[in-house]
């Protein structure tokens, strides 16, 4: 669970809510339609419909079964189950899931420099875009940083990084296409030292068809970082795409087993009704969700707050009644 307090961030909640509009319609509104404002015990039919809504939102089958089980338990003995009460139960279950994940804290003032962040994940999930957003964010917090272009597999990857870097006025350390990603990293660490940079954000390749090479490559990069800087890599962010649903979890497990992950970044939460994936990711991986991507612009990356996430799906004033 993140210790980031969203209530202290002006505008944060409105933005999150906006990004989660489709998910909210998919979960919150549909639950309202099913259980309505009824004052009689919930029927088996309604439970089935609820189950479909929850599964459809990508919250995960196990999670859905747990929630439905609790609702069933609570309605036993003819207890009244209104839409508010259903939502409150779901809220409670979600809070419990996020409490089961590790704590995560955004990099603060940096002592071990360069502070090295690896950004990993399969092709197309949004790694490069996220790196630009992260660099933008950390720079606005006053951190002096460099970006390392270790996705040397595709020429376009470095070009894309250069375009972003230009816009945020940050240097990129790169070599020619096909060079050893660990060698680029070695260079980038040397450059960070020489230029007194506090932070180094590392883009990595994400090709799927030669996965074992990719994993070996990442392990080698990890060894280089660890040898050069104490405690490095200090963060390994795994980027997952919310729109690809449950597939992401299998990938995640592989990255987790190979290089270890300190935090997850879930992208493309805007424009999907499947935002429930965030819950099943947290539940299954037990890893903290560090940031979420809510659009394609530089500003569209926000720290994840489980509380804000739950509040935007099930407003507290309604669910608490």
Ligand X SMILES: Nc1nc2c(ncn2[C@@H]2O[C@H](COP(=O)(O)OP(=O)(O)O)[C@@H](O)[C@H]2O)c(=O)[nH]1
305 contributes a contact to ligand X by CB under 6 A? no
Does position 124 interact with ligand X (CB under 6 A)? The reply is: yes
300 binds, among ligand X, Mg ion, none (CB under 5 to 8 A by kind): ligand X
303 binds, among ligand X, Mg ion, none (CB under 5 to 8 A by kind): none
Positions in 157-216 near ligand X (CB under 6 A) = 160, 206
**Cis peptide bond N-terminal to 114, omega within 30:** yes
Query: Which residue number, 229 or 294, has a Cβ lying nearer to ligand X?
Result: 294
Residue 270 interacts with ligand X (CB under 6 A): yes or no = yes
Nearest-CA neighbor of 248 among 210, 209, 216, 280?
280
Nearest in space to 201 (alpha carbons), one of 179, 225, 167: 225
Element (H, E) at 147: strand 145-150
Nearest CB to ligand X, comparing residues 64 and 129 = 129
Of positions 26, 93, 300, 307, contacts ligand X by CB under 6 A: 300
Q: State the virtual CA torsion across 15, 18, 19, 25 in degrees, nearest 10.
A: 150
**Partner whose binding site includes residue 293, from Mg ion, ligand X, none (CB under 5 to 8 Å by kind):** ligand X
Residue 235 interacts with which of Mg ion, ligand X, none, CB < 5 to 8 Å by class:
none
Please state, in angstroms and rounded to a whole number, the distance separating the CA atoms of residues 274 and 55.
Answer: 10
Among 127, 136, 197, 222, binds ligand X (CB under 6 A): 127
- Cα 26 to Cα 22, 57, 59, 149, 246, distances in angstroms: 6, 7, 11, 38, 17
Site for Mg ion in 83-142 (CB under 5 A): 127-128
Instruction: Answer with the entry of Mg ion, ligand X, none that 123 interacts with (C-beta below 5 to 8 A by kind).
Output: ligand X
Asked if 214 is part of the footprint of Mg ion (rule: CB under 5 A), the reply reads: no
φ/ψ of 228, rounded to 5, equals -85, -35
Cis peptide before 233 (omega within 30 of 0): yes
User: Does 271 contact ligand X by CB under 6 A?
Assistant: yes
Single out the residue of 9, 38, 113, 123 in contact with ligand X (rule: CB under 6 A): 123
Contact region for Mg ion (CB under 5 A) — 96-104, 156-164, 173-181, 266-274? Answer: 156-164
Produce one character per residue of 289-299: b if its CB has 16 or more CB atoms within 10 Å, e if not: bbbbbbbeebe
- Which CB atom, from 22 or from 256, has the smaller least distance to ligand X? 22
* 86 contacts: CB under 8 Å, gap ≥ 6: 31, 35, 42, 50, 71
Nearer to ligand X, 268 or 283 (CB): 268
Q: Cα dihedral sign for 89, 94, 96, 99?
A: negative
In the complex, minimum distance from the CB of residue 8 to ligand X, in angstroms, rounded to a whole number: 23
Each residue 23-62 as x (binds ligand X by CB under 6 A) or -, in order, gives: ----------------------------------------
In sequence order, which ranges of the chain are alpha helices (DSSP H)? 12-19, 21-24, 30-35, 44-56, 61-75, 83-99, 127-140, 155-167, 181-194, 211-228, 247-258, 277-285, 306-313, 316-319
147 binds ligand X (CB under 6 A): no
- Closest to ligand X by CB, 125 vs 313, is 125
Q: Which residue is nearest to ligand X (CB)?
A: 293
Euclidean distance between CA atoms 83 and 80, whole angstroms: 10
Catalog residues that contact ligand X under the rule CB under 6 A.
121, 123-129, 160, 206, 267-268, 270-271, 293-296, 300
């Amino acid at each position: 669970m993140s210790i980031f307090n969203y209530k202290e961030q002006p505008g944060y909640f409105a933005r999150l809510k906006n990004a989660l509009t489709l998910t909210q319609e998919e979960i919150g509104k549909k639950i309202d339609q099913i259980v309505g404002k009824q004052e009689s015990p919930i029927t088996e039919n309604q439970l089935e419909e609820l189950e479909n809504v929850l599964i459809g939102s990508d919250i995960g089958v196990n999670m859905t079964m747990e929630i439905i089980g609790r609702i069933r338990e609570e309605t036993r003995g003819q207890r009244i189950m209104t839409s508010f009460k259903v939502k409150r139960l779901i809220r409670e279950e979600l809070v419990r899931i996020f409490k089961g994940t590790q704590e995560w804290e955004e990099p603060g003032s940096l002592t071990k420099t360069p502070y090295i962040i690896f950004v990993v994940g399969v092709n197309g999930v949004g790694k490069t875009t996220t790196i630009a957003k992260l660099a933008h964010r950390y720079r606005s917090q006053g951190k002096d940083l460099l970006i390392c272009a270790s996705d040397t597999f595709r020429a376009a990857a470095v070009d894309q990084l250069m375009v972003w870097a230009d816009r945020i006025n940050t240097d990129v350390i790169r070599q020619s296409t096909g060079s050893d990603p660990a060698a680029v990293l070695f260079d980038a660490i040397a450059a960070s030292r020489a230029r007194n940079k506090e932070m180094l954000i590392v883009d990595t390749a994400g090709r799927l068809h030669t996965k074992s090479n990719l994993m070996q490559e990442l392990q080698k990069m990890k060894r280089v970082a660890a040898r050069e800087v104490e405690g490095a890599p200090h963060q390994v962010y795994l980027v997952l795409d919310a729109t690809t649903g449950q597939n992401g979890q299998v990938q995640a497990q592989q990255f987790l087993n190979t290089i270890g992950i300190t935090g997850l970044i879930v992208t493309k939460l805007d424009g999907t009704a499947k935002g429930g994936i965030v819950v099943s990711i947290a539940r299954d991986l037990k890893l903290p969700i560090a940031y979420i991507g809510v659009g394609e612009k530089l500003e569209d990356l926000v720290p994840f707050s489980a509380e804000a996430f739950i509040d935007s799906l099930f407003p507290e004033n309604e669910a608490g009644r």
